[in-house]
Every structure is written in structure tokens, then in C-alpha cells.
Structure 1
Amino acid sequence: MKNLLIKLLISTILIIVISHFLGIRVDDFASAIVTAVVLSLLNTFLKPILVMLTIPVTFFTLGLFLLIINTIMVLATDYFVDGFSVPSFFTAFLFSIILSISQSVLNKIFVD
């Protein structure tokens, strides 16, 4: 449970920090928490379904289509969360890449 809360806090802080650099609107800290929760739920339940449905495309693009699936998850989060707004597909694409790399590094450092 402790690790889950640490991961949620890391994601929330990263969403706030990255949004300032990319021009993504996050209204307040509560919106960032909701965004982190919704994004993690979408990645848990919807992303595996999308990955399974797009195996042939992912195979032919040598895995690069997974970046598009991550971008779709960010855009879906934009749709579900009122205090989170992404201006364009390209911004969501950059956001998903930076967020994934940052989460990976910080989770290796702070989570057991």
C-alpha cells in the first residue's frame, strides 16, 4: 500500500512539473491527483486490450505503435478529467514519453 501511494505521489508531481513545460493545463493539485489515478486506471484496464488488438501493427512498426497507445491513454485521460487539458496530439505524445521515462527512473529510486 505504501508503494502504491509513493507511485501516486510521484505521478502527481511529475504531471504538474511536465505540464508547465509543455503547456498542458492542470487546474490544481487535486486535478493532478485525479489525473494520476485515472491515467493509472486506464493503463491498467484499457491499455492491455488496445495492445492485444493492435499486435499486428505493433509487430510491423517494431513496437513503436506502443507510443501511440500511450498517447491515446493521455488523450483519454484528458477526456475524463475536467481539470486536465492537452492542447494537441503532439503535446500528448511528448507528455506520454517524458512521463513514462520519468516515472521509470523515479520509481526505481524511491520504490522498494
Structure 2
Amino acid sequence: MKNFALKTIANAAALAVAVWLVDDITLAGHSTGNKVLTLIIVALVFGVVNVLVKPLVQLLTLPLFILTLGLFTLVINALMLLLTSWVCDKLDVSFHVDGFWTAVLGGLIVSVVSWAVSLALPEDRD
């Protein structure tokens, strides 16, 4: 459970950096507390999308992954971010990614920041 919480915090931090750096990734909220709560909800949705959908998409696109020497991962990450935006829209959570190329840049930022934050957080050995 501790590992799940740490990964959610890492995803929330990575999404916050993407919202901060990319103009077309928006997160609405009236106060800082409201924005933090929204970021945690978006991080949970993003985690569920990555656990349930991403492995299936990776399996189906394995030939493209091999053909592009792994660069197709950027497209898959962008699609997961767009899917997260769509799910958040359906759940009435104020998170929006505007366009595919914005999602590619956002996915790249989320991947790098999430990796860096995960390195900084303690590992759960349980």
C-alpha cells in the first residue's frame, strides 16, 4: 500500500510539472488545496489507465515498438495521457490535454519527472 501511495505522489508531481510547463495541459481549480486534490485524482486515474490499458496497447503495438527501436513508447505515453484526459472529462474532473502533440510533450515530461521523483522516493521493500 505504501508503494501505491508513493507512485501516486510521483505521478501527481509529474503531472503538476507537465501542467506547469505546457500551456495546453490545463488543470482548473479555485484554490491550491482544490488543485492538489484534483492532481491526486488525476494521478489515480492515470495510474489505473497505465495499469489496465497500457500493457494491452504495448502488446498490440509490439511490431511498431521494434520497428522504431522503442520510440513508439512516446506515442503510447501520449495516448495514455489523452485517455486520462478523456476519463477525467467523463468523471467531471477539471484536467484537459488539448491535442496529440501536446500529449506527446506532456507524456515525455510526465515520464521523465515521474522517473526522477521515483528515484528520490524511498523504495518499498515489503
Q: Same fold (TM over 0.5)?
A: yes
| C-alpha deviation, 1:71, in angstroms | 0.5
1:31-77 CA deviation, whole Å, 9 max, x = no partner?
Answer: 21111011111111111101111111111111111110110000000
Distance 1:87 1:109, change over 3 A: same
TM-score w.r.t. length of structure 1: 0.91
1:14-93 residue pairs with structure 2 within 5 A? 14-23=14-23, 24-27=25-28, 28-82=35-89, 83-93=94-104
Corresponding residue of 2:106: 95
Following superposition, the deviation at residue 6 of structure 1 comes to 2.1
1:109 to 111, 116, 120: 120
Report the 3-state secondary structure (helix = DSSP H, G, I; strand = E; otherwise coil) of the residue aligned with 1:50.
helix
Identity of aligned residues (%): 31
Cα offset for 1:91? Answer: 1.2
Tell me the amino acid that sits aligned with residue 70 of structure 2: G
Q: Provide closer, same or farther for how the CA distance between residues 66 and 14 of structure 1 changes in structure 2, counting only shifts above 3 A.
A: closer
* Paired position in structure 2 for 1:7: 7
Contact 2:15-2:110 at 8 Å conserved across structures: yes
Instruction: Note the alpha carbon deviations across 1:5-37, whole angstroms, 9 max, x for none.
Output: 122122213312320220111122222111101
Secondary structure at the residue paired with 2:98? coil
Matching residue's letter, 1:102: V
Distance in structure 2 (CA, Å) of the matches to 1:53 and 1:99: 23
Number of residue pairs the alignment of both structures matches: 112
RMSD: 1.3
Please, what TM-score do these two structures have when normalized by structure 2? Answer: 0.82
Higher helix share: 1
